[in-house]
Amino acid sequence: MAQSRREFLKRTAALSAASYIGMNLPYRKQNAALAADADSWHRGSCRLCGTGCRVELGVKNGKAVALRGVKDARTNFGYLCMKGMHFWKCMGHPDRLRTPLYRESKKDKFREISWEKALDIAAEKFADSVKKYGNDSVAYYGSGQALTEETYLFQKVFRGGLQTNNVEGNPRLCMASAVGGYLTSFGADEPIGGYADIEKAHCFFIIGSNTAEAHPVLFRRIMRRKLDNKDVKIINADPRISQTSRIADLHLQFDPGTDLALLNAMANVIIEEKLYDEKFLESYVTCKKGKKETVSFEEFKKFVADYTPEKAAAICRGNMTPDKIRQTARWFAGSKGTLSLWTMGINQRKRGVWANNLIHNLHILTGQLLTPGADSLSLTGQPNACGGVREGGGLCHILPGHRLVAKEKLRNQVEDAWGIPHGRIPPKPGYHTMALFSAVNEGKIKALWVNCTSPMQSLPNVDLYSKGMRREDVFMICSDIFPTLTTEAANLVLPAAFHFEKTGVYGCTERRSQLTLKAVNAPDGAMPEVWIVREWAKKLAEKMDDPVISKCVEPFEGLEPDFALPKAIWDEYSQKLTSGRDNDLRGATYTVLQKMPDGVQWPAPTEAYALTGGTVKKFVRGMDPLADTHAKDDKPYQFYGHAHDDGKLWLWLREQADPEEIPDKDYPFYLSTGRIVDHWHTMSMTGRIPELLRANPYAFVEVNPRDAAKLGIKPGDMVEVESRRGKNFLPAKVYEGPTEGMVFVYWHDQHPDRLINMVTKDGYDPGSKEPEFKICACRVKRISGPKPLKPYIV
Q: Is residue 214 pLDDT above 50, yes or no?
A: yes
- Consecutive H or E run containing 456: helix 455-458
Task: Please give the residue range of the domain that contains residue 678.
Answer: 669-784
Residue 702 included in any domain: yes
Residue-wise DSSP of 611-626? TTTB-SSTTBTTT-HH
pLDDT score at 597: 87
Residue 45, classed as helix, strand or coil, is strand
* 296 and 321 belong to one structural domain: yes
Q: How far apart are CA 648 and CA 636, in angstroms?
A: 13
CATH code for the domain in which residue 677 is found: 2.40.40.20
pLDDT score at 481: 98
Residue 614 included in any domain: no
* 69 and 153 belong to one structural domain: no
Residue 573 included in any domain: no
pLDDT score at 11: 54
- Radius of gyration, alpha carbons of the chain: 25
Q: How far apart are CA 392 and CA 380, in angstroms?
A: 16
Please give the mean pLDDT across all residues of the chain.
95
Residue 586 included in any domain: no
**What would the mean pLDDT of 555-582 be, rounded to a whole number?**
98
Q: How far apart are CA 229 and CA 248, in angstroms?
A: 14
Q: How far apart are CA 751 and CA 769, in angstroms?
A: 28
What lies within 8 Å, CB to CB, of 31 at 6+ separation is 66, 85
Report the domain count for the chain. Answer: 4
Per-residue pLDDT tens digits for 444-491: 999 999 999 999 999 999 999 999 999 999 999 999 999 999 999 999
* 430 and 322 belong to one structural domain: no
pLDDT score at 23: 34
Q: How far apart are CA 771 and CA 437, in angstroms?
A: 13
The pTM of this model reads 0.96
Q: Which amino acid is at 59?
A: V
Give 282's DSSP letter. Answer: H
Per-residue pLDDT tens digits for 196-212: 999 999 999 999 999 99
Final residue in a domain of this structure, among 519, 541, 562: 562
CA distances from 161 to 155, 370, 428, 613, 785 (A): 9, 42, 16, 36, 58
For a pLDDT cut of 90, what percent of the chain falls above it?
95
What lies within 8 Å, CB to CB, of 675 at 6+ separation is 210, 213, 214, 746, 747, 748
* 431 and 533 belong to one structural domain: yes
CB 151 within 8 A of CB 393: yes
Q: How far apart are CA 408 and CA 465, in angstroms?
A: 33
Q: Which amino acid is at 488?
A: E
Q: How far apart are CA 239 and CA 342, in angstroms?
A: 13
Biggest CA-to-CA distance, the chain: 73
Which pLDDT band, with edges at 50, 70 and 90, does 18 fall under? very low
Per-residue pLDDT tens digits for 377-402: 999 999 999 999 999 999 999 999 99
Region of poorest pLDDT, from 35-44, 234-243, 411-420, 785-794 = 35-44
| 429 vs 14, residue with greater confidence | 429
CATH code for the domain in which residue 84 is found: 2.20.25.90
Residue 550, classed as helix, strand or coil, is helix
Per-residue pLDDT tens digits for 419-431: 999 999 999 999 9
Q: How far apart are CA 236 and CA 232, in angstroms?
A: 13
Q: How far apart are CA 348 and CA 343, in angstroms?
A: 8
Region of poorest pLDDT, from 11-15, 246-250, 439-443, 621-625 = 11-15
pLDDT score at 37: 86
**Helices 322-334, 309-316: crossing angle, 10 deg rounding:** 110
Q: Is residue 29 pLDDT above 70, yes or no?
A: no
Whether the bond into 429 is cis, omega within 30 of 0: no
pLDDT score at 24: 38
* 26 and 86 belong to one structural domain: yes
CA distances from 140 to 137, 390, 394, 478, 484 (A): 11, 15, 9, 10, 18
* 373 and 260 belong to one structural domain: yes
CA distances from 513 to 67, 85, 610, 774 (A): 21, 21, 11, 30
pLDDT score at 794: 95
* 264 and 359 belong to one structural domain: yes
* 149 and 28 belong to one structural domain: no
What lies within 8 Å, CB to CB, of 686 at 6+ separation is 83, 86, 87, 678, 679, 680, 692, 693, 748
pLDDT score at 26: 45
Per-residue pLDDT tens digits for 142-179: 999 999 999 999 999 999 999 999 999 999 999 999 99
Final residue in a domain of this structure, among 57, 90, 123: 90
**What would the mean pLDDT of 672-683 be, rounded to a whole number?**
96
* 501 and 460 belong to one structural domain: yes
CATH code for the domain in which residue 404 is found: 3.40.50.740
For a pLDDT cut of 70, what percent of the chain falls above it?
95
Final residue in a domain of this structure, among 533, 562, 591: 562
pLDDT score at 166: 98
CATH code for the domain in which residue 375 is found: 3.40.228.10
Cα end-to-end distance, the chain, whole Å? 48
Q: How far apart are CA 186 and CA 168, in angstroms?
A: 24
* 375 and 389 belong to one structural domain: no
* 548 and 470 belong to one structural domain: yes
Per-residue pLDDT tens digits for 490-532: 999 999 999 999 999 999 999 999 999 999 999 999 999 999 9
**What would the mean pLDDT of 348-357 be, rounded to a whole number?**
98
* 460 and 315 belong to one structural domain: no
How many CB atoms lie under 10 A from the CB of residue 591? 12
